[in-house]
Amino acid sequence: MPDFLLGLPHLADGPLLAAARRLQTPVLLSANAFSIWRPDRLDIRDWVGFDHRPLRRLAGLDAALDSAGFVAMARYRFYPWTVAAYVDLAAAAPWRWFSAMDLCVEPEIARNDAEVLDRIAGTVRFYLRCLREAEDRGIADRLAPVVRGWRPDHYLRCLDRLPGVECVPVLGVGSVCRRQVGGADGVLRVIDTLDRALGNAPARLHLYGVKSEAMHALRDHPRVASVDSQAYGQTARRVAFLAGRSKTDAFLARHMVAFHRRQVALLAEPGQGARSPFFPVALPESPADPIEARVAAAADELRALHEEGEVDWSDLGPLAAFHWAFMDDLPDPEAAAEAA
């Protein structure tokens, strides 16, 4: 049975944290829960650092740390914090594991296949930077890489580009929280695709924010180590609104306890070891049009250079790929001046 990690919105002293302690359950916290924001002269909030003081309340808790990738992209358009600041936060407490920073690819963030591939390249780059910082602090053994994708072939591409992840204790699987369970791009297909690709490698998977239905279907999957959810927050918010009352931490704690019991019961039910029907993963074909093929190849070259740290995130995108594809065809101003 996979471990269930209960998502906590913060570490403030009070009924929510007390309830989590009574449950004696592993918990997952977002890096954003420790963010410090201050308004500037225009009353726009600036991120100024992570508050490490609440970390002392982790004593006695089995806790993991998430990099808040989706929140960062959806709310702030990019990470407001640096890799070094995030890994400092990871080094400041005895986390079970901490996820590498990554770039999510949900449709509201990545609008097309090219943007998904760019974000996979960014995920690889962030992992390498997190790994270097974690090695410097002696905590690389607790770093959990994250694979991203929307189709199964995206996940295979990401897995192939993350060096050495076959042997990590925990490999995170992102972009599954609102995904359907079955179907060609469903959670079952994604997990089985990764499972087959990993073969006999020891890495096991953590599924970020997966739905109860998928959690139940995957409860006997040998590759799945753990799952997490904080969905009780949405339920409590809706109930509080309909009742015309405040969503206090005491109110939220009652919903959290009931939610936790339901999820643990779901995972404990005997299952059949659900698997999706096996279909070979079809890799995308190169564009037939020679100009489109040239631009696509240039985009892949730029992504590889970004993964290696040779170009910045801002150097990716369709315009950059077009320029890169035809850069050698542009006239050389110095050669033209010499010829004149």
Mean pLDDT calculated for residue range 98-119: 93
Q: Is 60 helix (H, G, I), strand (E, B) or coil?
A: coil
Q: Write down the pLDDT at residue 290.
A: 76
- Cα dist from 134 to 29, 83, 127, whole Å: 19, 10, 10
Go through the chain and tell me how many residues it has.
340
Mean pLDDT calculated for residue range 13-19: 96
Cβ atoms of 314 and 340 closer than 8 Å: no
Mean pLDDT calculated for residue range 182-201: 93
Task: Give the start-end residues of each E strand in the chain.
Answer: 3-8, 27-30, 35-39, 45-50, 63-66, 98-99, 143-144, 146-147, 170-173, 204-207, 224-229
What one-character DSSP code corresponds to residue 92? Answer: T
Mean pLDDT calculated for residue range 187-207: 95
Q: Write down the pLDDT at residue 326.
A: 72
The region of weakest confidence among 12-21, 74-83, 268-277 is: 268-277
Looking at domain 3-284, its CATH superfamily turns out to be: Queuine tRNA-ribosyltransferase-like (3.20.20.105)
Q: Write down the pLDDT at residue 222.
A: 93
Question: Where does residue 76 rank: exposed (0-12), middle (13-18), buried (19+ CB within 10 A)?
Answer: middle
Q: Write down the pLDDT at residue 329.
A: 59
- CA dist 265 and 256 (Å) reads 14
Which pLDDT band holds residue 273 (cuts at 50, 70, 90)?
low
Which pLDDT band holds residue 275 (cuts at 50, 70, 90)?
low
Cβ atoms of 230 and 211 closer than 8 Å: no
H or E, element range at 94: none
Q: Write down the pLDDT at residue 42.
A: 66
- Domain map of the chain by residue range? 3-284, 287-340
Q: Write down the pLDDT at residue 335.
A: 46
Strands 35-39 and 45-50: antiparallel
Strands 63-66 and 27-30: parallel
- pLDDT digit string, tens, across residues 310-337: 888 788 888 887 777 776 655 555 544 4
Mean pLDDT calculated for residue range 37-52: 84
Residues with Cβ within 8 Å of 52's Cβ and at least 6 positions away in sequence, in order, are: 34, 89, 92
- CA dist 139 and 296 (Å) reads 38
Q: Write down the pLDDT at residue 317.
A: 84
Instruction: Give the dihedral sign, CA 308/312/318/321.
Output: negative
How many other CB atoms are found less than 10 A from the CB of residue 177?
A: 19
How many other CB atoms are found less than 10 A from the CB of residue 335?
A: 9
Q: Is 231 helix (H, G, I), strand (E, B) or coil?
A: coil
Mean pLDDT calculated for residue range 92-113: 94
Locus of tokens 């074909």: 285
> ∠ at Cα 335 (332, 336), nearest 5°?
85
Mean pLDDT calculated for residue range 133-144: 97
Residues with Cβ within 8 Å of 49's Cβ and at least 6 positions away in sequence, in order, are: 35, 36, 81, 85
